[in-house]
Every structure is written in structure tokens, then in C-alpha cells.
Structure 1
């Protein structure tokens, strides 16, 4: 079984270390409520929550755009 949910990129907070080349970004996603469409059945039952990720790969951080919607698929890792 899998679940597909739509999330919006709510914030991207960058942090840098002055002592090294290390940089990271905290990306926060929040659920999108849809009355109609492919996300409607999930968002009706799950109207709140959030996903927070600390990402240290600059290329991965660049894949997220503030305010943009993303589908997240939850599938058992077996």
C-alpha cells in the first residue's frame, strides 16, 4: 500500500559554517488541503502536519522552491 500526499514548500532556511565549507538548509513542507482533485481524499482526512528536512547537498536544496507544491509518496520500505 502507498499514500500520495501534496505538500507545499513553506520555508527554506540556509545556514553556513564559517569554519568550513559546510552549508545546510532546513526545508519545511506543509500539507495542502484540496477540496477536489487527486489530493482531495488524503487532505480531507489529514489536514495538518509538516515534514522538516536538514539537507546538506546543495543540489538537492535547489530542487525546492518556496511556495511550490510537491507530491510526497509514502511506500513501505521492504
Structure 2
């Protein structure tokens, strides 16, 4: 079974009365890598330099839970 983990950052949230549109991008290259290269964002930005995702959330219990600048892991696993 092949899996992949990506790291996304919320770039924008559009809030409406009945839903929220949450925009994600792959984590950007950190400003200034540590000398030992240990910054985790460095790893994700290096191997996934570009990605976008947009999710419309219609569950009122989730409104306001995702905010610009926050980072999340997204795991891709087969759904068969």
C-alpha cells in the first residue's frame, strides 16, 4: 500500500453564512534554513514545492476552526 504525507498551510479562509471556503498551499520554503537543515518545513517544501487544495466546509461545528497561517499534515492513503 502506497501512502504519502503532505504538509499544507492555510493561505486564506472565505467565511460565509452557510459555509467556509478554506484554501491550502504546500508549506512554503522557510525563511532561512537552520545550518543543520533540520527544519521540517524544509523537507516538505523541497519535495512538494507546489500544491494547492480548496475545501468547502458546510458543517457549522467546524466553522472558525481553520485559520490562515496554520499548518496541517494531509495523509493520502488508498481508499480501495
**TM-score, normalising length: structure 1:** 0.75
Please show how residues 1-78 of structure 1 align to structure 2 within 5 Å.
1-16=2-17, 23-33=18-28, 36-38=38-40, 40=43, 42-78=44-80
**TM-score, normalising length: structure 2:** 0.73
Aligned CA-pair RMSD: 1.9
More strand by share: 1
Q: Which runs of 5+ in 1 are unaligned?
A: 17-22
Distance verdict in 2 for CA 1:59–1:74, change over 3 Å: same
Q: Which runs of 5+ in 2 are unaligned?
A: 30-36
**Residue 51 of structure 1: SS of its match in structure 2?**
strand
Alpha-carbon deviation of 1:12?
A: 0.7
